[in-house]
């Protein structure tokens, strides 16, 4: 499997359709491992209080052709990530290639779990939920004119709902 091709596919078919930006997403993110060495996460999504490792494994190099020692090392690596408070999501390259929508759903569920803890969405109006969705996609503050375009509403309606 060509890792560059796999990374591009994840970005193009899984990540971009969800968020339309790459803020907080770091490819080939370097971490210190439990053996005082360096390891690389395929993708790291990092925000205050959130650390998610997104791993994409090909069948050949990641399973079929590894030794027992390498297999044990992979399991230990994941255990150490969990101990270090990383949330780990794993996809096979085949899953990303053949069912990117399901991969998107898993990413949404995991990130939504974290962001959902910060704000109880059950008490929000439809307008507020859509504005929140826009902010999450952008990863930064949005302006009333952007909300107008996104929701296709007049400036008067947007100003009525947004705080000053």
Q: 10 Å Cβ neighbour count for 157?
A: 13
- Each domain of the chain, given as residue ranges in start order, spans 3-118, 120-164
Do 89 and 55 meet the contact criterion of CB atoms below 8 Å apart?
yes
Are 20 and 11 in contact by the 8 Å Cβ rule? The answer is no
How do beta strands 50-57 and 87-92 pair?
parallel
User: What 3-state DSSP class applies to 86?
Assistant: coil
Q: What is the mean pLDDT of the chain?
A: 82
Q: pLDDT confidence of 2, banded at 50, 70, 90?
A: low
The per-residue pLDDT for range 122-142, each reduced to its tens digit, is 566 777 777 777 777 766 677
What is the torsion angle, in degrees rounded to the nearest 10, for the CA atoms of residue 63, residue 67, residue 69 and residue 71? 10
pTM of the model: 0.66
pLDDT: is 96 or 61 the higher one?
A: 96
How distant, in Å, are the alpha carbons of 3, 14, 31, 74 from that of 80? 23, 26, 11, 10
pLDDT beyond 70 at 56: yes
Q: Are 130 and 150 in contact (CB under 8 A)?
A: yes
* pLDDT at residue 78 is higher than 70: yes
CA distance 43 to 53: 6
Mean pLDDT of 56-85: 82
Contacts of 88 (CB under 8 A, 6+ apart): 52, 53, 55, 78, 81, 82
Class of domain 3-118: alpha beta
The confidence band for 62, taking pLDDT boundaries of 50, 70 and 90, is low
Q: Residues 24-49: pLDDT tens digits?
A: 899 999 998 877 789 899 999 998 77
Q: Does residue 119 have a pLDDT over 50?
A: no
DSSP 18-53: HHSS-TTEEEEEEEE-TTSSEEEEEEEEEETTEEEE
């Amino acid at each position: 499997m060509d890792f560059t091709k796999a990374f591009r596919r994840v970005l193009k078919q899984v990540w971009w359709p969800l968020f339309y930006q790459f803020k907080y997403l770091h490819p080939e993110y370097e971490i210190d491992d439990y053996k005082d060495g360096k390891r690389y996460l395929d993708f790291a999504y990092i925000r205050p209080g959130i650390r998610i490792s997104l791993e994409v494994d090909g069948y050949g190099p990641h399973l079929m052709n590894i030794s027992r020692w390498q297999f044990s090392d992979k399991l230990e690596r994941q255990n150490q990530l969990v101990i270090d408070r990383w949330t780990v999501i794993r996809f096979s390259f085949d899953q990303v290639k053949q069912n990117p929508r399901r991969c998107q759903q898993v990413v949404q569920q995991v990130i939504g779990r974290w962001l959902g803890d910060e704000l109880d969405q059950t008490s929000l109006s439809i307008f507020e939920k859509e504005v929140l969705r826009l902010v999450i996609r952008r990863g930064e503050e949005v302006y009333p004119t952007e909300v107008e375009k996104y929701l296709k509403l007049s400036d008067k309606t947007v100003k009525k709902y947004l705080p000053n």
